[in-house]
Amino acid sequence: MNQKQTIELMKQRVFEANLSLKKMGLIKLTWGNVSEINRDLGVVVIKPSGVPYDVMTPEQMVVTDLEGNLVEKKGWKPSSDLPTHLVLYQKFEAIGGVVHTHSTNAVMWAQAGRDIPVYGTTHADTFYGSVPCTRMLTESEITSCYEQETGKVIVESFVKDGLDYQAIPAVIVQGHGIFSWGDTPEKAVENSVILEEVAKMALGTEQLKKQVEPVPNYLLDKHYYRKHGKKAYYGQN
């Protein structure tokens, strides 16, 4: 397969991943975007900015290089969140797809400025620890290169607490929304679906009990490693 064919397939996948976000109820209007990187070719494909989902086509997906320069000159502007995606691709070297949403329950946590604790196995099956909430960006960060600084503050959240971005493939951006990632755009979408569900469950849990405790670490270990790593035994592989 030549480079052009590879990019066409990326555009198709990114298009479908964007639609699946909408179909699964994580997106209102045009809020949200999915991208994919091909590190060999040095290109990223991302949703165009502000195009309604019901008229979007695979051809409109925007192709850029790793600095965000347009590779194809077709006139569509990339999602304004592209610089955040690029920082994540640069710092989280094993990921292949990134998702951004304002999904309802996850945003509640973002607006409350809180990490989502591991209250159960639904969380532990995918996120090996609390899903962190970033600090609020400073005024100078926001007024300079806002979207790029958003990426940096996400990375900072992982670095300062020694978190593994592969074991916790999502983040809450304070006052804003979420980013998730994975090996592929499809996996990144799946992680955003799970985060939204986990956010909803955790909210209800706190309503049922004051001072909920996270699950014991041995339960977290069990569930996470039942699905991930060398000894995983969930699924058909």
As annotated, the active-site residues are 125, 234
Rounded distance, CA 142 to CA 176, Å?
13
Q: Measured from the CB atom, is 4 or 209 closer to a second copy?
A: 209
Q: Does 204 bind a second copy (CB under 8 A)?
A: yes
Residue 137 engages a second copy in binding (rule: CB under 8 A): yes
Rounded CA-CA distance 201/204 in Å is 5
Nearest Cα neighbor of 60 from 70, 81, 71, 46 is 46
Q: What is the CA radius of gyration of the chain?
A: 18
Distance in Å, CB of 182 to a second copy, minimum: 13
Residue 177 beta carbon to a second copy: minimum distance, rounded to whole angstroms? 7
CB of 126 to a second copy, least distance (A): 10
Token look-up 């986990």 returns 198
Q: Which of 6, 12, 49, 148 binds a second copy (CB under 8 A)?
A: 49
> Which helix (H) or strand (E) element contains residue 146?
helix 146-160
Candidates 11-19, 84-92, 152-160, 192-200: pick the segment binding a second copy (CB under 8 A): 192-200
What torsion do the CA atoms of 48, 51, 53, 54 make, to the nearest 10 degrees?
-130
Q: Does 15 bind a second copy (CB under 8 A)?
A: no
Interactions with a second copy, residue window 89-128 (CB under 8 A):
102, 104-105, 107-114, 119-122, 125
How far apart, in whole angstroms, are the C-alpha atoms of residue 167 and residue 172?
15
| DSSP run (H or E) holding 199 | helix 185-208
Q: Which residues bind a second copy (CB under 8 A)?
A: 28-29, 31, 48-51, 76-77, 80, 102, 104-105, 107-114, 119-122, 125, 136-137, 139, 142-143, 146, 175-177, 190, 193-194, 197, 200-209, 212, 215-216, 218-219, 222, 226, 233-236
